[in-house]
A = this chain, B = another copy of it.
Amino acid sequence: MTQTPKNIAIIGSGLVGSLLAIYLRKKRHEVTVFDRRPDIRTVEFSGRSINLAMSNRGWKALRGVGLEETIKQIAIPLDKRAMHVNGKEVYFQHYGKQGEAIWSISRGVLNRKMIDLAEEAGAVFRFNEKVWDVNLPETKVYTGESEKNKWKEYQYDLIFGCDGAFSRVRHKMQRRSRFNYSQHFINVGYKELTIPPNEDGTHKLDKNSFHIWPRGQFMLIAMPNLDGSFTCTLFLPFEGEVSFENITTEKEAKQFFKTYFPNVSKEIENLTKDFFKNPTSAMVTMKCYPWTYWNKVALVGDSAHAIVPFYGQGMNAGFEDIDKLNELMEEHGDDWDAIFEAYQEQRKPNADAIAELSYRNFMEMSSKTADTKFLLQKQLEKKFAEKYPDKWIPVYSRVTFSERPYAEALAIGDAQEEIMKEIMKMPDIGAIWDSEEVEQRLLELLST
């Protein structure tokens, strides 16, 4: 169905805001994008970002407006994890079947490109213009120099809040009665670090891998950039024995890298410099409901469902919101009530599911990577999945390499976990895990 062109405000010029602008322009709506920050194309990056891992859901949304190939040119495919365990050679774990990969993209590079594309599509960007208030029933937007100065008023037909985890638009919705809301911070923070390229511009580590240095309570990851560098992220508790709180001098930082990450010790000067230059950031799971206000205002992306980054799905989930919104616009045409109602009803359980899966990944990484029983279970599952790829699709693949609902992935994953619980109870499982007996029992449990 076609839509009558509307005058639409998008608050936030991040990835979700700019992709939504492109989608809405395709439907011939007038689009203005507000952002309190300056144009990211004119400033240095913040030094607080984690490289993105674009996977199937993200690509599908880009494909919908013909941008998949354009964006692949600024992305690097990673078909495996490279595990850096002290005292072992680096070893590799392929993600999925042949050809399946996640794609590393610099958030800043992608955001600049998306804004270019949105402008080309006819969206108007108003940078350095902070939205202080929103009149929800009258779809008015108020901007200004400060909260107390005189505000400028704009009138729109529709407003989309794409202004992230600390959304101002949601903030306004939150003041209404019966608005459910939660924000939960984890006790681990993160810091962006960099491994620069070799002098000849090549990558210092395998370019097509997602590099992980798992250390139980903390971990380092590295993802490649086009210029030969790696954007690394150090995840570390805020407080405690090994923590941000306890690394305050250069000497302590160097000792920390040397002790726990000896195979990157050649990079120690850079890592230490970045450690003190870049901010330490917190991570939050934010849930809320409703996501829409009448047929007037809707939250999209992190403003509706911020998640911790341990599944690499934050951007993918936000882009999938847009893909689904687009499907609903095609189905319902000008009936924005129906579009918004179906949007929040369909997306909410999926957003909750990926929030849960991401949080569990965090818990697993920080508490279970040293648990031999857990590792045995993972090994057993992997073997079975490889032998019976149609009977046992791992949750990671369902989330990353499929476009089926997140809620389905979570539910099937829980059912698989129940089966594995039974298997792990088998006597002497440590010795027989690789046996015909275990395999038969698994097949039996799967068929009941």
Contact between B178 and A282 (Cβ–Cβ < 8 Å)?
yes
| Cα distance A181–B165 in the bound complex, in angstroms | 13
The interface size of chain A toward B, counting residues with CB under 8 Å, comes to 14
| Cα distance A147–B146 in the bound complex, in angstroms | 12
1/0 contact string of A169-186 vs chain B (CB within 8 Å): 000001001111111110
| Cα distance A338–B334 in the bound complex, in angstroms | 59
The residue on B at minimum CB distance from A149 is B148
From B147, B174, B178, B185, A180 is in contact (CB under 8 Å) with B185
| Cα distance A271–B185 in the bound complex, in angstroms | 46
Contact between A181 and B180 (Cβ–Cβ < 8 Å)?
no
1/0 contact string of A256-283 vs chain B (CB within 8 Å): 0000000000000000000000000010
The residue on B at minimum CB distance from A288 is B183
Chain B residues in 8 Å Cβ range of A238? 178
From B148, B178, B183, A181 is in contact (CB under 8 Å) with B183
| Cα distance A182–B182 in the bound complex, in angstroms | 4
Contact between A178 and B182 (Cβ–Cβ < 8 Å)?
no
From B148, B179, B181, B282, A177 is in contact (CB under 8 Å) with B282
| Cα distance A184–B178 in the bound complex, in angstroms | 8
Most buried by B among A147, A181, A238: A181
| Cα distance A185–B288 in the bound complex, in angstroms | 11
The residue on B at minimum CB distance from A177 is B282
From B178, B183, B282, A185 is in contact (CB under 8 Å) with B178
From B147, B148, B184, A182 is in contact (CB under 8 Å) with B184
A133 to chain B, nearest CB (A): 9
Q: Which of A198-223 contact B (CB under 8 A)?
A: none
Q: Which of A156-196 contact B (CB under 8 A)?
A: 174, 177-185
The residue on B at minimum CB distance from A178 is B185
Chain B residues in 8 Å Cβ range of A180? 183-185
From B147, B174, B185, A179 is in contact (CB under 8 Å) with B185
Chain B residues in 8 Å Cβ range of A185? 177-180
A95 to chain B, nearest CB (A): 33
A25 to chain B, nearest CB (A): 34
A150 to chain B, nearest CB (A): 9
| Cα distance A181–B185 in the bound complex, in angstroms | 9
Chain B residues in 8 Å Cβ range of A182? 181-184
The residue on B at minimum CB distance from A185 is B178
Most buried by B among A178, A179, A282: A178
Q: Which of A363-414 contact B (CB under 8 A)?
A: none
| Cα distance A444–B7 in the bound complex, in angstroms | 72
A386 to chain B, nearest CB (A): 41
Chain B residues in 8 Å Cβ range of A183? 174, 179-182
| Cα distance A39–B180 in the bound complex, in angstroms | 31
A140 to chain B, nearest CB (A): 15
Chain B residues in 8 Å Cβ range of A282? 177-178
| Cα distance A178–B180 in the bound complex, in angstroms | 19
A–B pairs, 17, beta carbons within 8 Å: A147-B147, A148-B148, A174-B183, A177-B185, A178-B185, A178-B238, A178-B282, A179-B183, A180-B183, A180-B184, A180-B185, A181-B181, A181-B182, A181-B183, A182-B182, A182-B183, A182-B184
The 4 closest A-B CB pairs, nearest first, are A182-B182, A178-B185, A177-B282, A181-B183
Q: A177-B282, A179-B185, A181-B182 are in contact. List 16 more A-B contacts (CB 8 A).
A: A147-B147, A148-B148, A174-B183, A177-B185, A178-B185, A178-B238, A178-B282, A179-B183, A180-B183, A180-B184, A180-B185, A181-B181, A181-B183, A182-B182, A182-B183, A182-B184
